[in-house]
Structure 1
Amino acid sequence: MARTKIDYGIDLGTTNSGISRMENGEAKIIKINGQDDTMPSCIAYNKKGVLAGKKAFAVYRSDQEASLSKDIEPNAFIEFKRTMGTDKKYFSSNIAKDLSSEELSAEVLKTLKSFVTDENVNAVVITVPAAFKNNQIDATRRAAKLAGFEHTEVLQEPVAAAMAYGLDSKKKDGFWLVFDFGGGTFDAALLKVEDGIMKVADTEGDNYLGGKNLDLAVVDEIIIPHIQKNYTIDNILSDDNKKANYRDALKPFAEELKNELSFNTEFNLYKEEGSGTDDDGEEIEIDLTVSQSELEKVLSPVFQKALEISKRLLERNNLQGSSLDSLILVGGPTFSPVLRKMLEDQICKPDTTVDPMTVVSKGAALYASTVTVSEEVAEQTRDRSKIQIEIGHESTTVEMEEFVTLKILVEKTEGIIPEKVFAEITRSDKAWASGQIEINEIGEVIEANLLEGKTNGFEVTLYDNNGNIIESEPKTFTIIQGLGGIGSMQTLPYNFGIELKQRTTGKIVFSQVQGLEKNKSLPVTGTKNNLKTQKQIRPGMESDFIKIPLYQGEHKSEGTRAIYNEHVYDIIISGNDLPALLPENSDVDLTVNIDKSQEVTIQAFFPYLDHTEEIKVPTDKVQSTATTWLANELRKAKGTIEELKEDNVTTDKVQKLENEILELEKKFENNKNDVDGKQEVLTNLRKTLKKIDELSETTEWPKLEEELKEEFYRLEKANADFGNDQTTEIVNQVRTQLDEVLKSQDPKLGAALLDEINSIFIKITLIYQLINIIRGHNQQFDSYSWKNTHRARQLINEGLQVIGNNPTTDELHPIVMELFDLLPDEQKPSGDDTVLVG
């Protein structure tokens, strides 16, 4: 059957996945092996090939149990969604191959697709966590491509859940909170609903919080302590790699405990074998009885993290739990009675009318019914022997009637088209039909009646002048009544910005692109104008370049260090890309476009050259969780601690922060080959750096006050020696500003004034600054790592000669600038001169 809409939706989960499609205007689950709604997101390899779902999970459980007593090469894998978009590899000894997260996810998608037996599926909507970063979304698309899908759209999981819930719900107004606690990720999405039109108001999430954390909490706080009481396992626990493998191997026991205690007040976990051996070689036997209350104590702190995220989200939007009209649960862990009670006590009673396990894939199918398949896919499934028609209509509406246009596509039809063709539209419940209406290649408009609060399926039948049915396609279409605003439901999950050098402070920070704020509806366009280059870019010179680092930032990210935010990509524009010389301090205007699938395109306009450079951010990048980069950031953090000590900040807080950095260094050394481990180090490093910055701010004003006074005194002296009436007037104005800043003790105002003082000083004394630079580099010539020693020597000699003959600024400035170009980046006085100034 040829489809004009995608119609298929897949929930690609961390622990379980499912697929749904639209049938007769309804989102239907496609049963796994004819019986299950979902399948484990697990892949295993044996000598004959690949296994997926339950069979793979059986291999995984067997391997995990076996690994407790002996070293085995893993051939079954799970939870690879948590490493999507990274360079993490999973080695399978049975096929002697390293596998990426995308390749494993592709096998899950292929398996889901295989359960569709009545047609070929080339297009699909795949859901992703709202908190997924760009590289993770790109990896999801790559997995779909590997699985054979030629047209893939991504949809945020909470949006999918809200669509499925909203269609059946009688609540068409108010605020809804989607609480999506999955196997590996957590999302909270706040939606505002008015007359059935849904709009995502705000989102928050954690890509490393989910069912896996619950399992590990049970392992760490119940199972391992029980084993330690009866056996010696110090050798396992003292080695981070052995400990990580041991914890993973015990996770199936934790799952069993959780499941049993969902229905029983007490459960005895008894494992006579399969629990490994202790340090003395003795077989470990587990005989452990756990109560519901004991389990609750262990699970509650993990669930509490999700509740805190949700409460912050509500607080940020001036709401309380009592303000919510619906609290919608998504994900297997939300079946937990512990969580449901916590939600009721702290936020509000959750709505349990939808199935947390299937609501996302159903919502994805509903959304898929609103998305037109690509022309490429449509052509592959087109049967040109049938009369081809085009059906035009709104996919969703809050109205009770909807206009539908029908026309014959003559150029797409190879069969005979009768002189007169009549069309009749029939609603799937047979309670409404349009009657036969003549149509042609120009088109005809028909008003379709809709059922309220339903997904209305329609069938189109063509007849000739004698009333005979004519074969045609497409045959069906869907209009969802009761939902609106589908196009604006997906929003930017993060603030989008660039790294640049602040004009006032000289600091290199994250800066928001105007229009690309978090929660803006997709697609979206943002701009950042009046940026400046720090150096000239010579045409044809690849070594001359501008760097525009793109980042995704959380709330309150403006002006923060880049490391606090998620790096997306570095846009590089070199002399090879420009048609002529771009002078230093040239203007650059940026336009950033982000489409509904969060693909990013940048346009950089250079007014001086009247030239625009367009760059599409590649979608094949992976996050290396770069070991060298993270090691460097840890080193820089240690350097910041030393700076605090040099500023005589010797409080207990400094010592505590230093200990935190040292502990992070230790964790980093033990987790260099583990993506999850490195991500944990990075997350905690960001927290520690924020504390360092807060402490640095307490020392900022005294230093700044002293510097302001010294620099103003230097400016007054320079003006007395080299100034005129005009510069004297400017200096007097600065004196007034200085008095006001010293009274306010505002570091931001102080930094801006200091920048202004330095700028005026340079203008008054520029010729002497240039002379001192040339003389200073001459005296310290051998201490610099010149890129071209011979040319550097020539320039300095030329400069010294000019200095001896009544020099001018115009003569010395180009010599100094070329001299700076010959210095390595770390020895240049301006620091990173490749980023833009704003």
Structure 2
Amino acid sequence: MRNKIDYGIDLGTTNSAIARMENGIPTIKKSGTLKDTFPSCINFNKKQDVIVGDAAYNTMKNDNARALKTFENGQTNTFFEFKRTMGTTHTYESSNMGKSFSSEELSAEILKTLKSVIKDENISSIVITVPAKFLNPQNEATIKAAKLLGFKHIELLQEPVAAATAYGLDSKSKDGFWLVFDFGGGTFDAALIKAEEGILSVKDTGGDAWLGGKNLDEAIVDQIIIPNLQQNFAIESVLKDTDKKEILRNAVKFYAEEAKIQLSFKDSHNVLSNLGDLPFEDDNGDEPEIDVLVTQKDMENVLGPIFQKAIDITKDLLKRNNLKGSDLGALILVGGPTYSPILRRMLKEQITDKVDTTVDPMTVVAKGAALFASTISVSEEVKEGTRDKTKLQLDLKYEATSVEVDVMINLKVLKEKTTGTFPEKIFADIIRSDEAWSSGKKLISEKASLIDLVLAEGRSNSFEIQVYDEQGNKLECQPNQFSILQGIGGLEGMQVLPYHIGIGRHYRSEKKDLFFPIKGLEKTKRVPAIGVENGLKTRSAIRPGMISDIIRIPIYQGDYDAEGTNPLLNNLINEVVITGENLPAFLPEGSDVDITIKVDKSQIMQFSAYFPLLNYTEELELEIKPTESPEKEFLAQAITNAKKTASKVSANEIKDVLVNLEEQLEREGGSPDGRMKIQNDLRKELLKLDSAEKETEWPKVQQELKDSFYEFENLIKKIKENSDGEDLNLNQLENHIKEYKSTIEQIIKDKNIKTAKELTDEIDSLDTEIRNEVSGGAMDVNKIKYHDREFNTLKWKDKTKARQLINQGLQLIADGRTKDLRPILHQIWDLRIDAEGPTETPE
């Protein structure tokens, strides 16, 4: 029985690996082909056998070539790079199996193969790595894949954190900033790590879940190989058909991958196919062949822009943390594509010359995952299921990491968990695996005993527990070993939220819903985390027992610059739906709702809504909604609309990117993965466009703010000159003017449209209050008379009640009690359907 998880899996887009802690060392467990990693590729053959890894990858190459004979979709039974569609509704059809598979079902097959590598024990608990920029649906799908395989205890670990853990343990430098540059087969992550005396913390993350080696291969296909075929053969009919073009791209992708690998250590490479490798006839009846010499310069022209995207993300990450590349102690390379000399040169030129190549980019994540797993206790459920109660059961409590060399362990006997007969006096000797230190025999019992340990520096220390009776006879115990990482700390708090988690909130000044993070769930908050938002308002009444009466609260994930943007431009996690079915009593419109969202270490969420009026809490498991791959036509129209908006606001750089996305859609729109990637890039440009539109709006908003302030300032000046402010606190009003001046200066400096509008409303409201006060309530009188005059043209929630209130107001006017009109006006306003509602309102 293991006390800690000890196993880590790197479930990669293109390659996967498993590592286990052995004598304090994270050890890669090799596949059947004796390789550290194997391709994340699956084949279902005609016998309905499941083939995984290199054999499946070779079969895929042959299948993709054979598909050129008929150019028919749906004939393949081999699947690869399905990690890119994790958390989506997309499925992969296998004719041999007679069914379709989700990405998580295919991932479960990869996990099964990794699990089968371990021959000497059954694994119930596992740490699985995921990209830091994975969204919640992708994380949830990863956990689902592990559950399909029967894992009982699953922890997700962000890949850069795993890499930093492995690097940090061996690093001689225990202080400073590190940058993990993780360019994998399908995803890119950048993580800024701070080390202080060996204590690690993640300061910020950036990345792109649709940027990786797959994009490099596709770029070589689209910009080198297919143009070469197009130049020498008549293949226009294939290129004009989206499905046929995608089949051709898949068939020649292997040549692209080979060229990429060869040019990692050669100056040039001849991409050459053999006769029959591309078994189709072009429009002239000829069988195409590939024959093109690719140089380092060619490769740089093609791959450079893709690598530049990752470098730009890294630059932004450093910039928003007020750092430069020169401030970094190390830039740590992770992922196969980081072997590229092109990328390494670009990183040294643009970020830092401290590019660290001491770790193996292909295995560092799996090793780091195992190290991290050695600090996580196995769940009680798993422990109970794996106990051998004939052995003496022990309870161990200790810190799994330490920057000190002298530590302690809390050890006691669990006789109630033991069925065997054991002596009264029991002694334990704790021996370090290098046999250079032992505790000596210590008396232990059912009461906790503290035993001093001495750690070897800068490594994972493995200890064996040997238990004896009074006569020195050895007794079997469980667990009988444990390990402590020395020279590193803070791992339990390293994982942070990669996105803001928030909701859409209605801003009266903006006259629309905007995304805002929930307090406590902002980007880079450590997980587990709890977010609370109080005082939200219901937009309609909810009747008890009525399932048709609904409160909708959409939950979104947004990046660091998402606050104040259109919620729909962010990533919808799910829409919480609360009905009247379980409510104990009637909930009026405009009632308070307090929401709480708990996020665990794997970013899985629990949601609760508290209704103060009813003293009732609704608790919901926040089921994550899978995303759908958009249709090509939808993306084409969305890009067209965005281009029009970009032209309107003169956002030429954005327009250029949109034109490139249009071309990209033509190349890659045949695959769900390609469309998801384009949608992701389009969303980024739409967010920029949203900001650009606000920039064009700013001059008008700024002028309105200034006008409101000057009008208010002149009002106070005239009141002082005419001595009309008997009932006003003029000193307080003059202080307001000073505060407003200071605030307006900052708003103008920041060009903060939302705050400018809110302050304009506040000044206008105060201006109206004062004018009403000095005029003896004349403005309130006019408002009552307006509502009376326009009664039949206005829209009311309750027409009878509105009429009664207006009549009360008219009577107060007739009685000369104009100062009592304000409460009635508030009630009238609340009954207006066309009036703007409260500032915070989930639908």
TM-score grouping bracket, smaller chain normalisation: 0.7 to 0.9
**Structure 1 position 730, deviation (Å):** 12
User: Is the 1:705–1:742 Cα contact (8 Å) retained in structure 2?
Assistant: no
What does residue range 812-831 of structure 1 map to in structure 2 within 5 Å? none
What does residue range 235-384 of structure 1 map to in structure 2 within 5 Å? 235-271=237-273, 272-275=275-278, 276-346=280-350, 347-384=352-389
What does residue range 135-534 of structure 1 map to in structure 2 within 5 Å? 135-271=137-273, 272-275=275-278, 276-346=280-350, 347-534=352-539
> Hey, what's the Cα distance between the residues in 2 that align with 1:576 and 1:114?
47
User: Is the 2:649–2:693 Cα contact (8 Å) retained in structure 1?
Assistant: no
* 1:120 aligned counterpart, secondary structure: coil
2:570 counterpart of 1:565: yes
Deviation per residue, 1:270-319 (Å, 9 max, x gap): 21232243223320011222222322222222112111211222222222
| Letter of the structure 2 residue corresponding to residue 242 of structure 1 | K
Closer/same/farther in 2, CA of residues 819 and 563 from structure 1, 3 Å limit: closer
User: Is the 2:413–2:447 Cα contact (8 Å) retained in structure 1?
Assistant: yes
| Letter of the structure 1 residue corresponding to residue 289 of structure 2 | E
> Hey, what's the Cα distance between the residues in 2 that align with 1:336 and 1:70?
36
Aligned position for 1:722: none
> Hey, what's the Cα distance between the residues in 2 that align with 1:669 and 1:399?
56
**Structure 1 position 407, deviation (Å):** 1.1
Aligned position for 1:38: 37
**Structure 1 position 70, deviation (Å):** 2.7
> Hey, what's the Cα distance between the residues in 1 that align with 2:247 and 2:130?
28
**Structure 1 position 710, deviation (Å):** 11
| Letter of the structure 1 residue corresponding to residue 5 of structure 2 | I
Larger mean Cα displacement after TM superposition, 801-810 or 675-684: 801-810
Closer/same/farther in 2, CA of residues 217 and 403 from structure 1, 3 Å limit: same
User: Is the 1:174–1:192 Cα contact (8 Å) retained in structure 2?
Assistant: yes
Aligned position for 1:89: 91
> Hey, what's the Cα distance between the residues in 1 that align with 2:442 and 2:657?
79
> Hey, what's the Cα distance between the residues in 1 that align with 2:702 and 2:91?
49
**Structure 1 position 663, deviation (Å):** 7.8
Gapped runs of 5+ residues in structure 2?
Answer: 712-723, 770-778, 812-820
> Hey, what's the Cα distance between the residues in 1 that align with 2:663 and 2:803?
49
| Letter of the structure 2 residue corresponding to residue 681 of structure 1 | Q
**Structure 1 position 703, deviation (Å):** 7.6
> Hey, what's the Cα distance between the residues in 2 that align with 1:518 and 1:550?
15
| Letter of the structure 2 residue corresponding to residue 342 of structure 1 | M
Closer/same/farther in 2, CA of residues 46 and 433 from structure 1, 3 Å limit: same
> Hey, what's the Cα distance between the residues in 2 that align with 1:389 and 1:107?
36
2:598 counterpart of 1:593: yes
Closer/same/farther in 2, CA of residues 633 and 512 from structure 1, 3 Å limit: farther
Larger mean Cα displacement after TM superposition, 653-662 or 361-370: 653-662
User: Is the 1:398–1:482 Cα contact (8 Å) retained in structure 2?
Assistant: yes
**Structure 1 position 330, deviation (Å):** 0.8
**Structure 1 position 807, deviation (Å):** 8.2
Taking only the aligned residue pairs, the percentage that are identical comes to 45
**Structure 1 position 60, deviation (Å):** 0.8
> Hey, what's the Cα distance between the residues in 1 that align with 2:739 and 2:437?
79
Deviation per residue, 1:22-64 (Å, 9 max, x gap): 1121111111016110110001111222110111111111112
Closer/same/farther in 2, CA of residues 555 and 651 from structure 1, 3 Å limit: closer
2:48 counterpart of 1:51: no
> Hey, what's the Cα distance between the residues in 2 that align with 1:604 and 1:727?
48
**Structure 1 position 700, deviation (Å):** 5.4
Closer/same/farther in 2, CA of residues 831 and 801 from structure 1, 3 Å limit: closer
User: Is the 2:19–2:27 Cα contact (8 Å) retained in structure 1?
Assistant: yes
| Letter of the structure 2 residue corresponding to residue 41 of structure 1 | S
**Structure 1 position 640, deviation (Å):** 11
User: Is the 1:668–1:678 Cα contact (8 Å) retained in structure 2?
Assistant: no
> Hey, what's the Cα distance between the residues in 2 that align with 1:216 and 1:369?
38
> Hey, what's the Cα distance between the residues in 2 that align with 1:727 and 1:613?
52
Aligned position for 2:618: 613
TM normalised by structure 2 equals 0.85
**Structure 1 position 388, deviation (Å):** 0.9
User: Is the 2:784–2:809 Cα contact (8 Å) retained in structure 1?
Assistant: no
**Structure 1 position 239, deviation (Å):** 2.5
> Hey, what's the Cα distance between the residues in 2 that align with 1:655 and 1:386?
70
| Letter of the structure 2 residue corresponding to residue 202 of structure 1 | D
User: Is the 2:705–2:760 Cα contact (8 Å) retained in structure 1?
Assistant: no
Aligned position for 1:60: 60
| Letter of the structure 1 residue corresponding to residue 377 of structure 2 | T
> Hey, what's the Cα distance between the residues in 1 that align with 2:316 and 2:375?
33
> Hey, what's the Cα distance between the residues in 2 that align with 1:739 and 1:457?
64
Deviation per residue, 1:733-762 (Å, 9 max, x gap): 899899979999875434543477579699
**Structure 1 position 223, deviation (Å):** 0.8
> Hey, what's the Cα distance between the residues in 1 that align with 2:322 and 2:293?
44
* 2:36 aligned counterpart, secondary structure: coil
| Letter of the structure 2 residue corresponding to residue 67 of structure 1 | A
> Hey, what's the Cα distance between the residues in 1 that align with 2:652 and 2:344?
41
Deviation per residue, 1:360-414 (Å, 9 max, x gap): 1011011111111111111221111111111111111011121112211112111
Aligned position for 2:27: 28
| Letter of the structure 2 residue corresponding to residue 413 of structure 1 | T
| Letter of the structure 1 residue corresponding to residue 320 of structure 2 | R
Aligned position for 1:698: 696
**Structure 1 position 673, deviation (Å):** 7.0
* 1:325 aligned counterpart, secondary structure: strand
User: Is the 1:738–1:753 Cα contact (8 Å) retained in structure 2?
Assistant: no
| Letter of the structure 1 residue corresponding to residue 623 of structure 2 | P
| Letter of the structure 2 residue corresponding to residue 476 of structure 1 | Q
User: Is the 1:427–1:459 Cα contact (8 Å) retained in structure 2?
Assistant: yes
Closer/same/farther in 2, CA of residues 668 and 623 from structure 1, 3 Å limit: farther
| Letter of the structure 2 residue corresponding to residue 66 of structure 1 | R
> Hey, what's the Cα distance between the residues in 1 that align with 2:472 and 2:289?
78
| Letter of the structure 2 residue corresponding to residue 335 of structure 1 | Y
> Hey, what's the Cα distance between the residues in 2 that align with 1:628 and 1:243?
14
Q: CA RMSD in A?
A: 4.0
Gapped runs of 5+ residues in structure 1?
Answer: 714-724, 782-791, 821-827
Larger mean Cα displacement after TM superposition, 330-339 or 342-351: 342-351
* 1:515 aligned counterpart, secondary structure: coil
> Hey, what's the Cα distance between the residues in 2 that align with 1:119 and 1:623?
37
Aligned position for 2:793: 776
User: Is the 1:423–1:463 Cα contact (8 Å) retained in structure 2?
Assistant: yes
**Structure 1 position 609, deviation (Å):** 3.3
TM normalised by structure 1 equals 0.86
Closer/same/farther in 2, CA of residues 363 and 574 from structure 1, 3 Å limit: same
> Hey, what's the Cα distance between the residues in 1 that align with 2:725 and 2:589?
27
| Letter of the structure 2 residue corresponding to residue 406 of structure 1 | L
Give the count of matched residue pairs. Answer: 800
Aligned position for 1:680: 678
Aligned position for 1:554: 559
Closer/same/farther in 2, CA of residues 304 and 465 from structure 1, 3 Å limit: same
Larger mean Cα displacement after TM superposition, 550-559 or 186-195: 550-559
User: Is the 1:450–1:456 Cα contact (8 Å) retained in structure 2?
Assistant: yes
Aligned position for 1:70: 70
User: Is the 2:537–2:591 Cα contact (8 Å) retained in structure 1?
Assistant: yes
User: Is the 1:641–1:658 Cα contact (8 Å) retained in structure 2?
Assistant: no
**Structure 1 position 7, deviation (Å):** 0.8
Aligned position for 1:718: none
> Hey, what's the Cα distance between the residues in 2 that align with 1:82 and 1:223?
24
Aligned position for 2:817: none
User: Is the 1:387–1:415 Cα contact (8 Å) retained in structure 2?
Assistant: yes
